[in-house]
Structure 1
């Protein structure tokens, strides 16, 4: 079925059985928009126009999106002027899309009849609104959203472009790589809906736009306000709606007092977020524009943990003072032969490699050595021997994020690391408690803050007489890669048969797969070549290092990077059951505050002589 190409009709039309629309009688036989684009279906419509899914017959029937605008002006001169302004706006959109990968490319623009059209790249994926309907966003997801989108906003603002309509339905997560893409810029809408004497007015969505934008004075700070409103709604899963009489209902904003109530909604849901993120959102949502952040770069500076800023004070609800320095010292390993006095055992396992489609292309039998720590009540901790060696840490120029670069050589001495993430049974044996949401003795312990992971290491060290600690970031990546250089230790991609992650998304050419929405017992999937399990997915794992924005000046000897960084924030590695596949790559790195307690954060331990 196709859509009738009468500009004022959007009824289904079957070209195989009839060539006239049964609703309006319009002839559709052989007609194409712009003599090139075949309309497939209506995606949406509003006061400004309609959006269609289409095929580009001049480019091997490639999928594309067509936006049809109806100029709200009359008279030949006014229409001619509107068309000229539309052309200028199209040129600006073209330049944006050609120069930034998170803005859809503009493929064409044209006039037909009394309408104006933009043809844009089709972005396969789903909007954040669709994700929000599934569940509220976590603090980590909001932080990552800001990290992904703020550079895009800075890019467009530097080019004197204001988006004007930032909201969850205009932010799309691209399926192939999980990146957020900013869609549906308001400039073309503005050109076609305003009179020529009032070019500054008009485009906004109630519930996201600040008062100055609704009064016709949009600025970069207006986009930042809308981004703050988007974050607040994603955190609280609270959207503005209309009642049966068309009245606006919004539990997140009190218009009488011009006050946002997002903190109250979180409190009702018994959800807490860090004071740092809360302050950022509050500043984004300041009613007076001059009191807000004035640029996306300013927000990024705060989000990336401004090095000049003192450590934030604890909120009144915090149960104890946060310590950020472990009681034992992280040591550089003196020898790769750390196992010569331990009673080692050997275990065997299969190691597989997959192609970009997720299809197995090789399988080999391998083995590794390990020793066991007795924790009491029959509970043991298996520690796998990792030989020393050299590797290239981080992502190449063609892969990953700037925070994973520059790629650099690192020499790592031998060590032992947990065969699995610390399980709930192991954690309870040492700590006497189990904070996890997804209960199960063999599942990884989660909702563990960094300091509790450090305390676990200290108590385990005291119990066993061996010095246990968290891995350095370099050790973690070296252990994860296990000699591989591909994005994943399985090869070019992963599938939900190999890793516990959000299988609704893909990394390469594999099919969408299963999303379990919770942790799985450790050892449920095949290990890497070192015999380590769940280094991709299941739960994020704490590392010992301070967070640094990139690898400039990073140690090259495998030790933890504990200088010149922000001690309040520590590294997390590996991705989790909650994340898209790109977050589970061997090189991917994120950070979190030492008091971040979340149901997808765990850890594993390291021992060395």
Structure 2
């Protein structure tokens, strides 16, 4: 795998590499010209030199996952990541290009800073850290070199998220222990170190130490031997007692000796002066329009990214006649303690007008690869859900919700549902009626709608996950409408509602799709088969004129949880509805 070179064009000419801005063993950053806007951008990629193929592929998976999360970050003091690209198997993140000095160069040229100026920059970076902590991330490499001053505004911007990782305060040893001497707390030297927001508190306090003294602090690995940390005012008597004591507190050797959040530490150092970040405030960066759906997707799983590479998502796969808009949502996961944890996601949708004030929302799903079917040890699975096999999926649009009764009424002029309600999913729909619905919808709109193939349905349901449910290892009736008298894995019994519920009543999956588990069964195009031997690998429907049985997916309100799994396939049921697909030409 080759590094990029000057004047090389990426993404079909959308970017032209100018030069290398910097780099080392971990990554390389280039400057590039973006074709449509003629703006300079920075593109960061990993360095494959001197790494084994297996190690580099694992690093790329983590790199891309972090990049996806950074794409969704919007803060005036965090370098803006516009999109994620893939060029010949090498992933890169396209970022805001910041013209200015980093704080290490700044103080090297000007000497130590005044308290007022130093606290201004620390406050700005502190709000940035607060923000990324709220996203479930740590930076883990805060230091003067990774804080750049925008030349025009003299605002501090936090850069270089090469060590950034998601964190879980209940786990230890889940991160690589890379660090920068002087700014890394002791837990980053320990093999089983426990990380948290206090890890970045230490580095931020150490950065303030350097800005006010002009010298890097004593590394924590020396302090652990008993060598004391020289107080900041020993090196700069002009430092106030409040700031001096705050730095010492923030640099407590053990995590419990520090404040546990950045906000607490900022209030300690500069009470009543801490700037709060307005979520509606946006960075002062050049206008840039990303070209790939990767930039609007929720964070994929490691396994999903591993299968994506080296199949990049298609470029410009939304036709000009389709006007999409971004939407934000909160999707849920169940952790090992059966606690429901929420994450923020983004996706793109186009809204189809059906007339009479009724609309249909279609969500953009990126192309990629995934492993279809259930592993042999998955609870409640069957042999006809195997063998697991890798499938390539082209990008498509799928209904954000199951087709509702009001949508069905507009198109078919009838409503067969037992449980009536405009916003409830239509049910008691035959496969022939589902196909007829798609045919009439296509005629009305001029777009070719159809049922999803079984592979497309499972790919959309999983949304990058490999667990039995997109929520995790199990489900609860807080998240899915199913027969709560039955349980799966370690989950407790819940509610049995004995009827359908309105669409959108439960959290979506990471693609922004609702009710992929439960509520009503959904028709697919495929015929039923005994197993997946000989199944298509290109995402197409598997049809061989076995008309009698067609595939059902997703489970329903009366299903046991095993029948709601991502891999579950069935050929008979009642209370069946549908979800439609549109493939952009």
TM-score of Structure 1 vs Structure 2, range by shorter chain = 0.3 to 0.5
What is the TM-score when the length of structure 2 is the normalising length? 0.45
What is the TM-score when the length of structure 1 is the normalising length? 0.43
